[in-house]
Structure 1
Amino acid sequence: MSILTILFLVATTFQTVHSSTKHYYFTVENKTITRLCRTRTIVTVNGEFPGPQIEVDEEDRVIIEVTNKASSGISIHWHGVYQKRTCWFDGPSYVTQCPIQPGNSFTYNFTVVGQRGTLWWHAHAGWLRATVYGAFIIQPSSNPLPEEHTIILGMSNFFAYFLHDFPGQWWNSDVSAMVDEATAAGVPPNISDALTINGLPGLLYGGCSESDTARVRVAESNTHLLRLVNAAMQIEMFFGIANHTLEVIEIDASYVKPFNTSTVVIGPGQSMNVLITTGSDVGSYLMAARAYSAAPSIPIDNTTSSAILEVGDSSDVPADLPDLPGHFDTAFVTEFEDKVLGLVEGAVPTEIDKEMVITVSMNVLDCPPDASEESCQFFEGRAGASMNNISYVHPNTSILEAFYTGASSGVYTTDFPQYPPVVFDYTGPPPANLNAVRGTKVHVVEYGTRMQVILQGTSLVVAESHPMHLHGFDFFVVGRGLGNYNSSLASTFNLWDPPKHNTVQVPAGGWTALRFLATNPGAWYFHCHLDFHLSVGLGIVLIVENGDEPSEQLVPPPVMPAC
């Protein structure tokens, strides 16, 4: 199995496992590494980049003790893990906890309930997830697994990675300093200097990087599972392997109806399992990842990361790249997404109790009267983002704790709008700037509510796609389309076999419809997984209230990190 940013693991077959307790120890610490002939210090877990892989079985209890020896506060999010009744351990800073301060420790303690497949973990404080991330693998209780590998895709400004195939990004400059400089000017940060697979950029960045190439060795004449994770901070990715067909079988740890493709499309935050079958010949093949963008006017990292798939005992350096789509090939992306259908049929809620329609926008925020001109360089203002024209601002304490103790005054308000407060032609010519309202506004949902959420993209500033991630839940993606959503389009929804995700792309100039059952109490972050968009306000918090039964209520909190 592999995760985008290729990490390949070897799995046992036909193994029956029983629930147990798995212990892991994370030390957050600095490490000096070299990429693209540049040496710099990054934040890591246990000195590893990407970080250590967590591997558990269905229904296991997982205990991870995190000790922070870095210079800034940090928290860890277990991306895609439901955290059923244990929202305290979900991880986003100032939503479910305060950051673990330097010199302190915190223990995450939760049980994996009703899940199996490829997920991942990452820092959820500032931009630390650029280098702090790893795979979270949940093995089925009984299954015949083929040989598996993980691939993590990333970006390289020293800023990304691939899980079991982790695609990621890398910046030659210090990411935190770069973000601070951009924030001071009110503009987006620089694009990355390279993309990465399992933390390495590959062969295509000049002689300096040829040795920084991930290699994955597999047996000939066999079927292999690749676990892919897109750990990049800012970009959706294409991924393929020269002369190989990829069979997609799982996305976000939920099974899909298998289909074949030469290239997969994977959004930031998403995970995916694919099968490949090797021939009888020994040989080496290039794996490659490059950016996809639905907004050609926005600068992107247009480089290509590569890694080598070694079949048998081959150690050759192959020359031929897979035939990946172009950077702006939206037609290919649409065709790929049309093939994604859920394996389980008839499970989606066919009736709904509550609908929310939420616009997802970039914004230009007015320059404050007392601000300098140097701090307002984004269309004579500051870059912002919003949902229903509310630009989210983190409080200075935990929203979950404030909700649990009834001490929400001064922390958040419960007036996040159910529908857009300003109605306009969302995907048409943009109106005069809608100066988003900054604030910490949440939306409260009663336990057991059958939810429908319409995410509506807009053309404000620029029409672009947004990978939206909901903590604490999977949701059914029942519909999507271009233009403005209206209620008549509900007749086109797929209520039989829609895919189930925890992260989904809202198409540029379009909309996406989700349904889920709100049966997990807690404070759940719902946000764009492009970190720049998140950092300037593209998120909300959904609070799901406790149910009536003890099994429907949050467990009491542990001793949480102090704010």
Structure 2
Amino acid sequence: MRRSWSTPSLHGVKQQLNCWADGAGMITQCPIQPNKNFTYRFNVIGQEGTLWWHAHVGFLRATVHGALIIRPRSGPGSYPFPKPDKEIPIVIGEWWDMEIVQVERRAASRIFDDWPRSPTINGKLGDLSNCSGFIEDNYVLNVEHGKTYLLRIVNAALHEQYNFKIAGHEFTVVAIDANYVKPYTTDTIVIASGETVDALLVAGAPPGRYYMIAQAMQSPEPFLQIPVLMSRGVVSYYPSKGSTDDTPIMAPEMPDQHDATTSFYFRGNLTSLLPQSVPANVDEQLFIAIDVGDICSHDGSHDNCMVTRLNNISFHLPTTTSLLQAHYNNNMSTSAISMLKEFPRCPPSSEFGYSPTSVGTAVRTVRYNTTVEIVFQNPYSSGMFSASNPMHLHGHDLFILGQGLGKFDPVKDVQAYNLVDPPVRNTALAPIYGWTAIRFVASNPGVWFLHCHMEKHVSSGMALALVVEDGPTPETTLPPPPADYRSCDGGQNNRALADE
């Protein structure tokens, strides 16, 4: 019988002074063993909007996930936008023909050419899929003419960024990652893995039926191409005179699947609803090169040696002690974490793909209340592989200061930072062949995972651990673990899946 080890993570919940409940396997705790349980206790003080939860061991979040909706304490009438008539969660997921266990094992063997059969919209494959000779059902959103619907959109897919459209309609984006933005009108929402978008939909089109489409994006040729991944739902007006199941369904015109421009400008048009208190002085500056590397000596013993890396280090999870446990016990050393490495401020070389790759548990330690600025730089030469990478930091929200294409210019690009009303997110997308810059205050003691939210990237090394030290008072110090904390015991390891 196949059994799973897992931990759920509350994606985007800040877990202030509560790192023990963050749920990242082998970062904050050992995974929960089969037939065991663990109760997560947390609060969402100061947060409202759409977040989500998912498994945080291996590829299990492909099927273990759900929306987490935080409404204002005073009720929906206090939203900073017109009160919607109804709220609808829209979860973009995936259907895999192969068992997730097998997908994960193949990825661990550096086999990255497995893809889902189709995306799903609220669990439905849609009528573009034909399984066993039967057309699959569409997710159907029934609407009434003239009413307003708040769509709470979550991208729970393992890897891909998605374009989301509804024929004949526009959206007004009002929040991202549980942070309000100035209302922004668009006919296309672009949402990367791990992100959430709240958008108002006014049912103002002529009564009828309209396709709702989620379409995956991918890097351009000549790089490895995946099948076209698209799922369709239906927005159906009711009651609608003369509209039947045979009524033609209007389809939207979708961007090309290789089009990165729509994503770039969608993000560039987002600003916070209110001015933000962005720290002017930066204490810690990191330049992080996102890249692929080679870990083999080419002696013929391996077929595929490619890994992902940050500043030339491919992240390796500890195997016997979680990082948080080691940190709390003042034992963050090679005796407890055998492959411990200090994460450098910048890569050893400015040339992507040419410097040696090391493997280790990369950790960066910062003092409490430090203002940290990070520039994430993707390969910018058209001759090298580049992808859009959603970089997610646990335990903190991020000011998204700017983004650009090509190589980051530390003089010119800094002058264009938005320090007035930057969007606030928990995930920052580094665009294909480009960069993005973030700033945040490390005011939450603990060990926090910083990683790409594309599972094949984090599992192959695109990650690091950020240690935030305790502050000077009891109120700024990480409390002891809860009595039922899942620590590691003896020779227990961190394998995500086991056969019995």
Whether these two folds match at TM > 0.5 is yes
Residue of structure 2 aligned with 1:237, choices 128, 142, 162: 162
Instruction: Determine the structure 2 residue equivalent to 1:120.
Output: 52
Give the whole-Å Cα distance in 2 for the aligned partners of 1:87 and 1:289: 34
Seen in structure 2, the aligned counterparts of structure 1 residues 524 and 291 have a Cα distance that, compared at 3 Å, is: same
Instruction: Determine the structure 1 residue equivalent to 2:445.
Output: 521
Checking the alignment, whether the CA contact within 8 Å between 1:291 and 1:301 is kept in structure 2 is no
Q: CA RMSD in A?
A: 2.0
- What is the CA-CA distance between 1:236 and the residue it aligns to? 0.3
Counterpart check, 1:326 vs 2:266: no
Instruction: Determine the structure 2 residue equivalent to 1:416.
Output: 343
Residue of structure 1 aligned with 2:388, choices 451, 454, 465: 465
- What is the CA-CA distance between 1:368 and the residue it aligns to? 7.2
% identity of equivalent residues: 37
Residue of structure 1 aligned with 2:289, choices 343, 359, 368: 359
What is the SS of the residue equivalent to 2:42? strand
Give the whole-Å Cα distance in 2 for the aligned partners of 1:499 and 1:322: 28
Instruction: Determine the structure 2 residue equivalent to 1:338.
Output: 268
Give the whole-Å Cα distance in 2 for the aligned partners of 1:147 and 1:527: 37
Give the whole-Å Cα distance in 2 for the aligned partners of 1:224 and 1:541: 39
Deviates more, 1:254-263 or 1:274-283: 274-283
Instruction: Determine the structure 2 residue equivalent to 1:86.
Output: 18
CA deviation profile, 1:361-419 (whole Å, cap 9, x unmatched): 122321575x74xx42x3xxx12011111100000121001100112233443621112
What is the SS of the residue equivalent to 1:403? helix
Counterpart check, 1:192 vs 2:116: yes
Trace 1:303-318 onto structure 2 (pairs within 5 A): 303-313=229-239, 316=245, 318=248
What is the SS of the residue equivalent to 1:407? coil
Instruction: Determine the structure 1 residue equivalent to 2:216.
Output: 291
Instruction: Determine the structure 2 residue equivalent to 1:347.
Output: 277
What is the SS of the residue equivalent to 1:180? helix
Instruction: Determine the structure 2 residue equivalent to 1:53.
Output: none
Trace 1:47-446 onto structure 2 (pairs within 5 A): 71-142=3-74, 143-144=76-77, 145-150=83-88, 164-184=89-109, 186-206=110-130, 208=133, 210-279=135-204, 282-296=207-221, 297-313=223-239, 316=245, 318-367=248-297, 372=301, 375-376=302-303, 378=304, 382-396=305-319, 397-409=321-333, 410-412=335-337, 413=340, 415-424=342-351, 426=352, 432=354, 434-446=355-367
What is the SS of the residue equivalent to 1:440? strand
CA deviation profile, 1:435-484 (whole Å, cap 9, x unmatched): 31000120001010111111111269612111110100110110111222
Show structure 1 runs of 5+ residues with no match.
1-29, 31-69, 151-163
Checking the alignment, whether the CA contact within 8 Å between 1:457 and 1:463 is kept in structure 2 is yes
Instruction: Determine the structure 1 residue equivalent to 2:494.
Output: none
Give the whole-Å Cα distance in 2 for the aligned partners of 1:222 and 1:103: 46
What is the SS of the residue equivalent to 2:451? strand
Show structure 2 runs of 5+ residues with no match.
78-82, 489-500
CA deviation profile, 1:17-65 (whole Å, cap 9, x unmatched): xxxxxxxxxxxxx9xxxxxxxxxxxxxxxxxxxxxxxxxxxxxxxxxxx
Checking the alignment, whether the CA contact within 8 Å between 2:86 and 2:148 is kept in structure 1 is no
Residues paired across the two proteins, number = 468
Checking the alignment, whether the CA contact within 8 Å between 1:388 and 1:421 is kept in structure 2 is yes
What is the SS of the residue equivalent to 2:3? coil
Counterpart check, 1:541 vs 2:473: no
Instruction: Determine the structure 2 residue equivalent to 1:557.
Output: 481
Checking the alignment, whether the CA contact within 8 Å between 2:144 and 2:238 is kept in structure 1 is yes
Checking the alignment, whether the CA contact within 8 Å between 2:124 and 2:136 is kept in structure 1 is no
Instruction: Determine the structure 2 residue equivalent to 1:505.
Output: 429
Structure 1 segments, 4+ long, off by >3 Å, are: 147-150, 206-211, 313-318, 411-414
Instruction: Determine the structure 1 residue equivalent to 2:80.
Output: none
1:270 partner letter:
E
2:179 partner letter:
S
Instruction: Determine the structure 2 residue equivalent to 1:476.
Output: 399
Which has the bigger relative contact order, CA under 8 A and spacing at least 6?
2
Seen in structure 2, the aligned counterparts of structure 1 residues 173 and 550 have a Cα distance that, compared at 3 Å, is: same
1:419 partner letter:
C
Give the whole-Å Cα distance in 2 for the aligned partners of 1:392 and 1:303: 29
- What is the CA-CA distance between 1:288 and the residue it aligns to? 0.6
Seen in structure 2, the aligned counterparts of structure 1 residues 209 and 235 have a Cα distance that, compared at 3 Å, is: farther
What is the SS of the residue equivalent to 2:145? coil
What is the SS of the residue equivalent to 1:329? coil
- What is the CA-CA distance between 1:346 and the residue it aligns to? 3.8
- What is the CA-CA distance between 1:561 and the residue it aligns to? 1.8
Give the whole-Å Cα distance in 2 for the aligned partners of 1:148 and 1:366: 55
Checking the alignment, whether the CA contact within 8 Å between 1:283 and 1:316 is kept in structure 2 is no
Checking the alignment, whether the CA contact within 8 Å between 2:260 and 2:432 is kept in structure 1 is no
Instruction: Determine the structure 1 residue equivalent to 2:498.
Output: none
Deviates more, 1:392-401 or 1:451-460: 451-460
Checking the alignment, whether the CA contact within 8 Å between 2:285 and 2:373 is kept in structure 1 is yes
Checking the alignment, whether the CA contact within 8 Å between 1:363 and 1:461 is kept in structure 2 is no
Give the whole-Å Cα distance in 1 for the aligned partners of 2:465 and 2:385: 25
CA deviation profile, 1:420-442 (whole Å, cap 9, x unmatched): 12233x4xxxx54x331000120
CA deviation profile, 1:223-252 (whole Å, cap 9, x unmatched): 110000011111000001111111111110
Give the whole-Å Cα distance in 1 for the aligned partners of 2:427 and 2:386: 19
Deviates more, 1:236-245 or 1:288-297: 288-297
What is the SS of the residue equivalent to 2:105? helix
- What is the CA-CA distance between 1:91 and the residue it aligns to? 0.5
Seen in structure 2, the aligned counterparts of structure 1 residues 554 and 415 have a Cα distance that, compared at 3 Å, is: same
CA deviation profile, 1:488-523 (whole Å, cap 9, x unmatched): 021111111111111121012211110011111110
- What is the CA-CA distance between 1:81 and the residue it aligns to? 0.3
2:25 partner letter:
S
- What is the CA-CA distance between 1:336 and the residue it aligns to? 1.6
2:39 partner letter:
T
- What is the CA-CA distance between 1:341 and the residue it aligns to? 1.1
